[in-house]
Structure 1
Amino acid sequence: MHVTPRRRGARASIASVITIIVLWTLLWGDPSVGNLLGGALIAAAVLFALPMTRIRFSGTLRPWPALQLIARFHVDLVLASWHVSVLAFRWRHTPKGAIIGVKLRCANDLVLTSVAQICALVPGTLVVDAHRLTGTLYLHVLDLAGSGGAEKVRADTLELEGRVLRAIGSRADLERAGLVGESR
């Protein structure tokens, strides 16, 4: 069965409306008719008054690498939170921060955004800028010495990009990044 782009867009919009209604109802904690209608109004306002640019997804969702990505994110989150809390309680120590540019191997919008969001969610790292055309992320690192230096931060970010590509990248993206023959 061939689905036209217009039908695919309508299906995505309907799925988005249903998702927003469900989330709205869960936030209120009461599946009343008023909350369902309120959720529908919010969904209509968000999706039709403020349309988002569509991102083409040409990859494949791979469940096992996606689970590994999520698990490693949680480990990184706990470790970085511990590191930042230790820094907060060290008296007379001023961490030396730095802004580091990391050129990603895949300039795909979805991969760039995913890597940037995961980096931004981990304490101690902040995305200062993302250059879409070159696929470069500029990261502010709170404690450069505690993070292992600039090259370690770059290597860790490229490793994160590899995990994202293994989870959602296309075969062509994996080949461009040199990740096809790896066993991880």
Structure 2
Amino acid sequence: TESVLAGLGKNVPLLGLVWGTMVLSHALQKHGGLLRGMEAACTWRALGAWDACARLSVVTSVLSAFIGWDVGALIMSPLALTIAARFPGQAAKPFLAAVATGANAGSLLTPISNPGNVIVTLASGMLFTVFVRRMAAPWAVAVVINAATVVVSYSNHFFLGRLPCLPKPPPVEPE
């Protein structure tokens, strides 16, 4: 128990950072119009559910880079359901997948976006700005690949019966 308490004492700044981002994100969500802005970014002139889903993945990645992947996913999950509901007959599953994977991809960019980055940054003495500069290109690639992968993975939800190469399945007759 003493070693656990000693380790916990060493990580008080990390725990404070995680708690602080949760409080900040709640305040932004409740008073700052954060979700309204995120929803607008995802749906304004969207070319369809697939476009809104890809945008949701990117927006979640950007948000998660600065408030943490876990908090970003918690904030964006209700928004995913709201956006999915805007498209009649659209399942929520692709949008929730976009949030889960987008938050994870977004956590590459900054030292504060996930606990592993905090530990690496503190142990190496690397400056915040140096970390961001080194991770910017891999982060951008991960965000784009992730958004595309979600759309392709759920293409049957977005495009089935709407494109000539993906015919509508025949109706199933009751037995």
Per the normalisation by structure 1, the TM-score is 0.30
Q: For the pair shown, which has the larger CA radius of gyration, 1 or 2?
A: 1
Q: Which structure has more helix as a fraction of its residues?
A: 2
**More strand per residue:** 1
